[in-house]
Copies of this chain bind each other. A is one copy, B any other.
């Protein structure tokens, strides 16, 4: 057989320590928040318009009210966006206004 690049097996269990499971889960919850097209569009809209309420997402993305609430909650729980309540309205904004650039950098 062709010589493998290096000897095999080269690394065994325990050779490379992994991060804490908790740290992995935290990162996964954030990347998961960005992994849905609807939520990416929401983040995009917030990067152009720094403050939007639920009904504006409905209007801009042509989505049902419960669908909008569902996705906003995922972004909120992941810490991607913040909510400010004014009367009956919920206003959302990006916690980090530069986040979209960082997401975009992942796919370059």
Contacts and interface: CB of A to CB of B under 8 A. Distances in A.
B1 A103 contact: no
The dominant DSSP class at the A interface is mixed
Max count, chain B CB within 10 A of own CB: residue among A5, A12, A51: A5
Contacts of A79: 107
Interface residues of A, number: 55
A2 to B, nearest CB: 4
Contacts of A76: none
A16 B60 contact: yes
Interface in A1-16: 1-2, 4-6, 8-13, 15-16
A41 B56 contact: no
A1 B86 CA distance: 9
